[in-house]
Amino acid sequence: MRTILVTGATGRVGRHVVDGLRAAGVSVRALVRTPERADLPRDVELIQGDINDPGAVKRAADGVDAAFLLWPSFSAYGAAEVVRELPRRVVYLSSLNAAPGSVWGDVEELLKGKDWTFVRPSGFAVNAQGWAGDFRTGEVVRVASPEASRSLIHEQDIAAVCVLALLGEHHIGRSYDITGPEALTQSEQIETIARVVGKPMRVEAMPDDVARQAMLDLGADPILAESSIAYFAALVDNPEPVTTTVAELTGRPARPFTTWAQDHAPEFRTPPTTPSTAEVARLYVDALKGGRLDEALALTSPDVVRVAPLETDGEEIELKGTEAILENADRLTADLVYDHIDVLGPLVLDNHFAIRFIFTHHNPRTGAPAHTTKLSLCTVTAGQITREEVFYYTPPRP
Ligand SMILES: NC(=O)c1ccc[n+]([C@@H]2O[C@H](COP(=O)([O-])OP(=O)(O)OC[C@H]3O[C@@H](n4cnc5c(N)ncnc54)[C@H](OP(=O)(O)O)[C@@H]3O)[C@@H](O)[C@H]2O)c1
């Protein structure tokens, strides 16, 4: 069985490269900085180490047939020593912008003595994750150059091409410019996510100096911040190109940005919050006071258990499910007309709450009025009422 070393295996592309290689029956070894947090499949052999440490790379590369290389720095400083420790066959995750003098161009140059393949993607669709916080917490996304147009590529398409290159000798000495199937402006990308997520968002242009400062505040290198802003400004008039390389290599079209948005939609949605016991109790009491039984039932689990004494002999019966409970209630109250319900509560403690009801009713045949008082002790689990224990009693006369 062949063994392939994967660097950046815990990253957004690397995880799919690992999956693709395992699916092809390849034995995977990963160079990771923190094995305890790697969260990779059990059959992946983990070698602890930093990619900037040639000694760690040498240990990781010992005996492997090929390596997937990701160089996670903005400069090629130290890369020559690392490249020397790699096996002969290397597939390098480069960039469409691998011009000489860029980190990607410099690393490519260092790899020229190997059996190399350069996979050069356009902008990663997964960069759009940077807007997820804006989607979850507000209605506005602010970006520099909203009309900058990129042919964003899905991380699974990048990985698919990398895996093919790692598995086939005929890819040696080839560079692949890979992109998504269309170029979209940043405004269009945000609109696409908004449509998929079902939350309209406003796009606002961020002045370049504000964008620059925001990047510096996040610790970006000043030169890189400047070049990134200039790059996006240039993309307004000169969109990233669109290639058909993914389809030619994999046999199926590159995934559109809409697919990426669908795959990542949960990250852009506010996670539903589970209401607290106090909230459930308040809503339940409000609904009962207002005579809105449907609303009260909506707060109750369909599998709710109700424990109540039998009217006749005080023996307790346990009913399960709202249907059985409502049927029983209809039977017990068939001879009664309710004139008034007085609800007191709730009294909340941990995941329980108590309510006191005083029912004023009369028998339509005899006209005899009566009062019934009951205490309900409810249990709330995961935002729903899951148990109701009922106690009937006659309050002492004042
Ligand atoms: N974003 C784009 O638009 C774009 C476009 C073209 C090319 N690229 C290239 O794509 C690469 C990023 O890919 P990605 O998005 O899949 O990565 P990512 O999600 O940002 O993850 C980075 C990976 O590199 C590992 N790593 C970082 N520093 C390391 C170190 N010192 N030693 C060992 N491992 C280290 C991380 O491992 P840990 O678990 O240890 O953190 C993680 O697995 C970069 O080289 C970038 O230049 C990006």
Q: What is the pLDDT along the chain (398 residues), one digit of tens a residue?
A: 799 999 999 999 999 999 999 999 999 999 999 999 999 999 999 999 999 999 999 999 999 999 999 999 989 999 999 999 999 999 999 999 999 999 999 999 999 999 999 999 999 999 999 999 999 999 999 999 999 999 999 999 999 999 999 999 999 999 999 999 999 999 999 999 999 999 999 999 999 999 999 999 989 889 889 999 999 999 999 999 999 999 999 999 999 999 999 999 999 998 878 999 999 999 999 999 888 888 999 999 989 999 988 655 667 788 888 888 888 878 877 888 888 889 999 999 999 999 999 988 888 888 888 888 999 999 999 999 999 999 987 766 65
Which three-class secondary structure state does DSSP give residue 151? coil
Q: What separation in Å is there between the alpha carbon of 195 and the centre of ligand 1?
A: 29
The DSSP-derived string for 206-218 is PPHHHHHHHHHHT
In this prediction, residue 180 carries a pLDDT of: 98
Amino acid sitting at position 21: L
Return all residues near 335 (Cβ < 8 A) that are at least 6 apart: 363, 364, 365
Check pocket membership of 180 for ligand 1, CB cut-off 6 A: no
C-alpha to C-alpha distance for 297 and 89, rounded to whole angstroms: 65
Count of alpha carbons within 13 Å of 63, Cβ hemisphere only?
Answer: 8
Burial 307-321 (b: 16+ CB within 10 A, else e): ebeeeeeeeeeebee
* Ligand 1 pocket check for 8: Cβ under 6 Å: yes
Cβ contact 210:203 at 8 Å: no
Vertex 219 angle, CA 218 and 221, to 5°: 125
Measured in Å, how far apart are the chain's first and last C-alpha atoms? Answer: 87
Q: Quote the pLDDT of residue 313.
A: 63
Angle at 137 between CA 132 and CA 142, to 5 degrees: 65
Nearest-CA residue for ligand 1 atom 13 is: 13
Does residue 373 contact residue 393 with C-beta atoms inside 8 Å? Answer: yes
The domains located in the chain, with CATH, are 3-268 (3.40.50.720), 277-393 (3.10.450.50)
Nearest Cα to 132, choosing from 31, 300, 264?
Answer: 264
pLDDT of residue 287: 92
Cα dihedral: 277, 279, 284, 290 (round 10)? 160
CB of 152 within 6 A of ligand 1: the answer is no
Which of 33, 69, 74 for mutating ligand 1's site (highest number of atoms within 8 Å of CB)? 33
Residue 130 beta carbon below 6 angstroms from any ligand 1 atom: no
Distance 243 CA to ligand 1 centre (A): 23
- φ, ψ of residue 351 in degrees (nearest 5): -105, 25
What is the per-residue pLDDT for 396?
65
pTM of the model: 0.76
What is the pLDDT, as a whole number, of residue 226? 94
Contact 347, 353 (CB under 8 A): yes
Q: Is the CB of residue 152 less than 8 Å from the CB of residue 159?
A: no
Q: What is the pLDDT of residue 333?
A: 78
State the pLDDT at residue 249: 98
Instruction: Give the C-alpha separation, 88 to 115, whole Å.
Output: 6
Whether 144 lines ligand 1, by a CB cut-off of 6 Å, is no
Residue whose C-alpha is closest to residue 70's, from 82, 84, 58: 82
Strand-pairing partners, residue 173, are none
CB 70 within 8 A of CB 93: yes
